[in-house]
Amino acid sequence: MKAEPTSSIVATPDTAATAASSFARVSLLIYAVLIVYASWYPFSGWRDMGLGPFDYLTAHLPYYWTGFDIWTNIAGYAPLGALLVFAMHPRLRPRWAVLPATLAGMLLSAGMEAGQTWLPTRVPSNLDLITNTIGAFTGAVLGALSSRYFLLESRMLAVRRRWFSGEASRGLVVAGLWPLALMYPQNHLFGLGHLVPPLSAIFSDLVDTPLDLATTWINNAQLSAEQYWLADVIVSACGLSGAALLLLLLLRKQAPRRAIVLVYLLACIAIKSLASALFFAPQNAFVWVSPSAVGGILLGAMMVAGLTFAPPTAQRRLAALALILSLLVTNAVPANPYYISTLETWVQGKFLNFDGAAQFLSVLWPFLAIWFLYHPVHRKHR
């Protein structure tokens, strides 16, 4: 008797249309965490001021507000509403997900405002709740209207299936967060994961004495200009090569791999320059450019070009190694005096909330990337 061939399951357009979007759900989780961090930043001075957490709901509307605050709240919660609609697919059709997405955004905002009751530097506001809810509703409506382009019949999905592997959803989220993490000013160009400032602040509060852990680790030794230069080159090269190799892991062989990585790196540099112009001054858009940063970019680019066609296992291990080395040097070397003087010119002003989220993301990203690089999905794919 002749055995029947085993059948394999192939993803068809119909099954793809009804599949849940891992990209949307992971993005929703990360974006919600950023909202929590931005709403309660700087997470210090918690105390009871004799007010109930929801007293702000029945208070008068604030007397002083600006159009910038209104549009910032709406724009901040609009992506949340859209991601909620996308994440509910296929359990709820996009048009039926608008109301639950709006309610979820409103509840999150209500919780964030209630928590601000115990923060002396923050003021809970019913106007913020209203505008945040409007933003979540606006984003949910836009998400429902555009769902066919992002979930059902999207050319973007066709390109994603053609160029990226089927397990690339988590990696695409991590890769997409890298340019956003670079927006916060760093001691080194790609020196993300700088744990020393927050840890130094925590220990300084515990011992009631200003403490810089990086200086303590090297026994108060003063580094020379050449040592600072070498550290900047190492961190910049390792940070760039780690992120670029992570992106290469997601690409199929038939994809224009070098072109995609080049566009990705150029877009990151453009976003970094735009952030510098917004946070400091337009004439300081390229304040991050230095001989050591340029040297790190060139060295990292040569490393990535040579590893473009390396086996995926080698790319994954070298990417993790580069990010770990970047973390070690970033946290072991004291802050460059030039970097400290640059931060003194940074007037945060209305970007205080965004500053908190950007700083949190800049610290979190390397650990998120290393988590992905060691995720079991790579062993299953291999």
Inter-residue contact 265 to 244 (CB < 8 Å): yes
Q: Which of 14-28, 142-156, 276-290, 321-335 has the lowest mean pLDDT?
A: 14-28
Confidence of residue 299 (pLDDT cuts 50, 70, 90): very high
Tokens of 45: 């001075």
Cα gap 242→132, rounded to integer Å: 36
Check whether 13 has a pLDDT greater than 50. Answer: no
Measured CA to CA, the distance from residue 360 to residue 355 in angstroms comes to 9
- Tell me, what's the pLDDT at 136? 94
- How far apart CA 300 and CA 298 sit, in angstroms, is 5
Q: How far apart are CA 113 and CA 291, in angstroms?
A: 45
pTM over the 0.85 mark? no
pLDDT at position 156: 65
Q: Answer yes or no: are the C-beta atoms of 21 and 87 closer than 8 Å.
A: yes
**pLDDT > 90 fraction of the chain, expressed in percent and rounded:** 26
CA-to-CA distance for 21 and 242, rounded, in angstroms? Answer: 26
CA angle 140–146–149, rounded 5-degree value:
145
Return d(Cα 378, Cα 372) in angstroms, integer.
9
How far apart CA 333 and CA 323 sit, in angstroms, is 16
For the segment 26-66, what is each residue's pLDDT rounded down to a tens digit? 888 888 888 887 788 777 677 877 788 888 888 888 877 77
- The stretch 255-272 carries a mean pLDDT of 89
Over residues 82-98, the pLDDT tens digits come to: 999 998 988 888 889 99
Q: What is the pLDDT of residues 225-235, one digit of tens each?
A: 788 889 889 99
Task: Tell me the per-residue pLDDT of 197-242, one tens digit each, with 9 for 90 and over.
Answer: 777 777 776 777 777 776 666 666 667 778 888 988 999 999 999 9
CA distances from 228 to 71, 223, 234, 269 (A): 41, 7, 10, 22
Mean pLDDT, the chain, as a whole number?
80
Taking residues 340-347, report their average pLDDT: 55
More confident residue, 153 or 254: 254
pLDDT at 11 over 60: no
Burial of 314 (0-12, 13-18, 19+ CB in 10 A): exposed
**Distance of CA 219 to CAs 222, 293, 297, Å?**
9, 27, 31
Residue 69's closest CA among 266, 354, 301? 354
CA 266 to chain centroid, in Å, comes to 17
Q: What pLDDT does residue 382 have?
A: 52
Q: What is the mean pLDDT of residues 17-28?
A: 71
> Torsion angle, CA of 353/357/363/366, rounded to 10 degrees?
-160
Is 187 a residue whose pLDDT tops 90?
no
